[in-house]
Amino acid sequence: MIKKFVFGKPFNTESILNDVKETYSEDKIPFGTVKNTPNFEWEYELGEQDVIYGLGQVMKGINIRGGKYVSWCLDQPNQDENTPSLYGAHNFIIIFGKKTFAVYFDYPGEIEFDAGFTFKDKIQVKAEKKSLNLYFIESENQNENLKSIVNQFRNLTGKSYVPPKWAFGFMQSRWGYKNAADINKVIENHKKYNLPLDSVCLDIDYMEDYKDFTVDNKKFPNFADYTKKLLQKNIRLVPIIDAGVKLQEGYDVYEQGKPYFCKDKEGNNFIAGVWPGDAVFPDFLNKEAREFFGKNYKKLTNCGIEGFWNDMNEPAVFYSKKSLKNAFDKIQDYKDKPLDIQSFFEFSGLSNSSFNRKDDTELFYHKVPQSFAGDFAESTPDKNGNVLVQNRKIHNLFGYNMTRAAAESFAKENPNKRKLLFSRSSFVGAHRYGGIWTGDNHSYWSNILLSLHMMANLNMTGFMFTGSDIGGFSSDTSYDLLLRWLAFGIFTPLCRNHSADGTRNQEFYEFEKTDDFKSMLDLRYALIPYLYSEFVKAAQNNKMYFRPLSFDYEDDLRAIHTDDQILLGEGLMIAPVYVQNAVGRYVYLPEDMLMIEWNNSQIKSQKMLTKGDHFIEVPLESVVFFIKKGKIVPFAKPALNTALLDTTNLTAVGNAPKGTVYELYDDDGFTTQIDVQKSVRKIVM
């Protein structure tokens, strides 16, 4: 059951697709209280055992109780437990315990969630403006309360994006691949070492002077021919597109876009520094601006490109003119002065002080229809009925609408064929248009577990095509870290090894025992029929691909508090090793399960284990995972590419009675006409 409450005059974020008709009056709020203050403040008393889920991309446990989080889309290169804001804003929480319910705060600006941080037994949610829609959701199924709540929320916000099947193949990436020779080296080495591969990402260096939608001819002569040749080998290139457009007279995207960039208070283009130096920012909240930008993807799709990643769309701002000037002025002030402790620290922070400043978002504006703006408008309507809204107030909608610009243009260009699209920044609603990756993590052991936590909470909010940079983006990875990370990453829909320029080479073939990586990638490909089937079914039925254990075992206290294991689809549970030098780990089984050990590209052993705690040995080169009793999982013969996968010839694995059926969803991998009732094949034990 969903109840909607309207406060003030909300901004229409378009995150809700299938709205509820009835709205309730503010004094009828079923849980907690909204304070009688000019800003928005909701408060709820937590039961001692209450668990809090949600908020998608945050740096804490699956249960996020005890933390304070701020939804404010941010280019945040330091992903650790102390990070309140990341790239996305997913304002959905579930309280599970004494009373079980969810709340969605449909609000486009900064919003703070103090989830038992200041007061252990209180959750407080605060926003600057008391103009928002609140949705309270209660279970409609007493046996599956959590699943019912998520399912209803997802019915509200619309079906999740489904990428083409090749996007489930392995993707190699690195910031630093400069030209065709660098890309060829990746492909050749994958071939040489029999490492599966479906796609290679192109990071910013493929462009001409970091200009969106250009390809540097010197680095990639005859780009279209090149992509076509790669396609014959079933390898696809996935270029990056940045939100900031280079300010350069004569550059066609800049010229065409002039009417569609975000403006400052005086009505001039807002200019800020990002990759290409001075840049301007398409006003993605505006339909015409989305169309202008979206059309430009055609330049690359015309060259045979079938997938993109959208970056820097929080938007990231290295400096505004104002913040840069401030920094230089202050540095001048300090010149020739003796620096005491306080002034020294102020001084030393100055050169970095212009980076992604919140107050810079007060310098630019978006143009939206008056009917969308609620009381967020800062001007009277122009002749087209549009009003100005400040980015600061609706900041979290920017990246979402960049993704939408691309997706809407793809749909227009070819409505029948899926394209790969994933973004860094997001907001609830963007899950309909593309996936996300979890951004700039580090080659730290803790980041494996933090990424598992995000998978659980992101799935609740509809972001299912997601994954972290395997091996870690910043810092130098190590052989064992990369292997353990991959043993988890092969289960995430987006399975990409990505690293930052200047870090240790992180391609699998750069390490001594390449076969160990191959074995894990082989498992990925053997499981693709299952992973794809579970993914598409979850997307179409508004369910989850990854679930915390509590979703299937609501009455099991141990399951509820297991934070380092996760369920995948109907039949699997995974429990990655994330501790350096560990020879294995404790695993909690909420019921009897079949343990599978994968080693040397095949199933090495299968063993039934009883409900309870087990210490499981997990050699570095093995992947150990679990199949629920009575369930089966189909395995394909590993292949080097999704195009070579034989999905008609599958082996059922599981501890289930003869005749047990798995309903496999399968399709051509591209069609947008998905029918999960029709396109299933029965796999029988």
Encoded amino acid at 305, one letter: I
User: In angstroms, what is the minimal distance from the CB of 175 to ligand MIG?
Assistant: 3
Instruction: Name the strand (E) or helix (H) holding 653.
Output: strand 651-654
Burial class, 77, CB count within 10 angstroms (exposed 0-12 / middle 13-18 / buried 19+)? middle
Q: Do residues 261 and 280 lie in contact, with contact meaning Cβ atoms separated by under 8 Å?
A: yes
Q: What secondary structure, in 3-state letters, does 562-608 show? A: CCCCEEECCCEEECCCCCCCCCEEEEEECCCEEEEEEECCEEEEEEE
- In the complex, minimum distance from the CB of residue 204 to ligand MIG, in angstroms, rounded to a whole number: 4
Please name every residue paired with 115 in a beta bridge, in sequence order, or none if there are none: 67, 123
What's the Cα-to-Cα distance from 522 to each of 196, 383, 484, rounded to whole Å? 7, 59, 15
For residue 311, the minimal CB distance to ligand MIG (Å) is 5
Nearest to ligand MIG of 201, 593 (CB atom): 201
| Nearest distance in Å: CB 320, ligand MIG | 16
Measured from the CB atom, is 474 or 542 closer to ligand MIG?
A: 474
At a CB cut-off of 8 Å and minimum separation 6, what does 149 contact? 94, 100, 101, 102, 137, 138, 139
Nearest to ligand MIG of 216, 408 (CB atom): 216
| CB contact set of 656 (below 8 Å; sequence gap of 6+) | 629, 630, 631, 632, 685
Question: How is residue 336 written in tokens?
Answer: 């020739």
Task: Quote the strand ranges of 216-305, DSSP E.
Answer: 236-242, 245-246, 272-274, 277-280
Total residue count of the chain as it appears in this document: 685
CB of 440 to ligand MIG, least distance (A): 5
Q: Of 54 and 399, which CB lies nearer to ligand MIG in the complex structure?
A: 399
* 158 vs 489, beta carbon nearer ligand MIG: 489
**What is the C-alpha separation between 200 and 70, in angstroms, rounded?**
34
Please identify, using beta-carbon distances, which residue of 424 and 484 lies nearer to ligand MIG. Answer: 424
**C-beta of 199: minimal distance to ligand MIG in Å?**
15
Rounded to an integer, what distance in angstroms lies between the CA atom of residue 570 and that of residue 591?
Answer: 14
- Starting at the edge strand found earlier in the chain, the sheet holding 602-609 runs 546-547, 566-568, 572-574, 623-628, 593-599, 602-609
CB nearer to ligand MIG: pick between 49 and 352? 352
According to the 3-state scheme, what is the secondary structure of 60-93?
CCCCCCCEEEEECCCCCCCCCCCCCCCCEECCEE
Q: How far is CA 446 from the centre of its chain?
A: 18
Residue 11 Cβ vs ligand MIG, minimum distance, rounded to whole Å: 27
Smallest separation (angstroms) from ligand MIG to the CB of 439: 5
| Least spacing, CB of residue 471 vs ligand MIG, in Å | 13
DSSP 525-536: HHHHHHHHHHHH
**Separation of CA 488 from chain center:** 16
**Smaller CB separation from ligand MIG, 315 or 638:** 315
The nearest distance, CB 186 to ligand MIG, in angstroms, is: 15
Q: Which is nearer to ligand MIG, 204 or 430 (CB)?
A: 204
The CB-of-659 to ligand MIG minimum distance in angstroms stands at 47
Q: Which is nearer to ligand MIG, 439 or 472 (CB)?
A: 439
Question: Residue 441 or residue 647: which is nearer to ligand MIG going by CB?
Answer: 441
Pairwise CA distance, residues 102 & 137, whole Å:
5
Nearest to 358 by CA among 56, 84, 67: 84
Tokens 């099947």, residue located: 165
Q: Residue 10 or 244: which CB sits closer to ligand MIG?
A: 244
Taking the complex as a whole, how short is the minimal distance between the CB of residue 364 and ligand MIG, in angstroms? 20
- Minimum gap (Å) between residue 176 Cβ and ligand MIG: 9
Burial label, 673 (beta-carbon count in 10 A; 0-12, 13-18, 19+):
exposed
Closest CB 435 distance from ligand MIG, rounded Å:
14
CB-based contact 183:238 (threshold 8 Å): no
> 268 with 192: CB under 8 angstroms?
no
Residues of this chain that interact with ligand MIG (CB under 6 A) are 175, 203-204, 240, 311-312, 424, 439-440, 498
Smallest separation (angstroms) from ligand MIG to the CB of 334 = 28
Nearer to ligand MIG, 204 or 245 (CB): 204
In this structure, what token pair is assigned to residue 41? 């403040």
Taking CB atoms, the residue at the shortest distance from ligand MIG is 175
Q: Which is nearer to ligand MIG, 312 or 397 (CB)?
A: 312
CB nearer ligand MIG, residue 176 or residue 630: 176
